[in-house]
Structure 1
């Protein structure tokens, strides 16, 4: 279910100059902020939670997910080069799964790893905050990658749609409207962080079983439907 050639082409597309610049910029900014705060204020658990929750998990992870998820499939559909890929004797589920694995790997590398490093800089993993947010970022990376990969197959404006979701729904509405928080990948991932962190260090509006279940459901359904869209696109081309 994993195709090395598809993976190599997808990875090359995701790590091209333009996307790579943005992928490196966001983690670099997080680490710069963490280093500056540590130098100016010293280690502080509340500050670490605010930075990792408010910037890393709420903003950086979904934005990197948008770049990696939509970039894994969308550009090939937009420019028509997907036809050459679909002409190869590769099962459509294998194409989707391979692209999802690559997109997830890129998202984890550029979001979960910097989140862990930033947490260690901020408070040295006091109350297990750094590890908790790193695990949450990893779980969110999988769901975001699947969700935004799906967007890349259903609309030519996948990046815009992804940014609206990431910045408006997750960051804006999620912080202002209590009901919206329960329908947020961020809050689902936070349920993991709440369990891993010391009691009272991190809080989520969603319980752990529900959060993990929704993360898994979104990932599976989005990947499945992306495969269905790709299959229909193939059939349309053959007709």
Structure 2
């Protein structure tokens, strides 16, 4: 066996060290990315969330990482986040130096398999992958299946999008439950849309769905609903095709007649 192929089995601790090394610059920041929360670490290193707390506890006891409750981008509440200590950073850097030069077998989803050094994988992958992610997708016999990993990444993106839209839908439903949207609520929704990357088309589709599902409770305030929707549509001085379609559906749903 080639000396570069000696170590292909990496512990959860190894992968967490490599994952957190990518976020070392956030160690002293007031607001940090969600990647260093328990959920973010779980996703980044490819392990179930239920296994993360125990691993983190052991690493804290070893003085490899520290825990801090702080503001997380896109989250309303402060959360527990994790950072490498000086000792942990030193170990992670040694590990990264070792891992980057390891040779693995790379499959393109067919019978074609070739050997590559891990640090050269970036040339074959469209999306950026951290070393921790790469290690989590190497099979026990040292094979990294590129097509399988790409499909998994696409599914993960779709699942994340579904979850984000569900969060936004819940917020939108709460806003419209009384049949009107205040300026403060509109501002909050705008911020939430940006954080969750909800497009205008997705927003309008969800709003239409909400009108259909909670319409019975809004019947008495139908004109007010239409008025608010119209005011929002006219905020930029013009009504788009999508906005006009939504207004027509509101009129139809609540049997509103223009006088």
TM-score by length of 2: 0.28
Q: Would you tell me which structure has more helix in proportion to its own residues? A: 1
Higher relative contact order (CA 8 A, sep 6+): 1
Q: Would you tell me which structure has more strand in proportion to its own residues? A: 2
TM-score by length of 1: 0.29
- Structure showing greater radius of gyration is 2
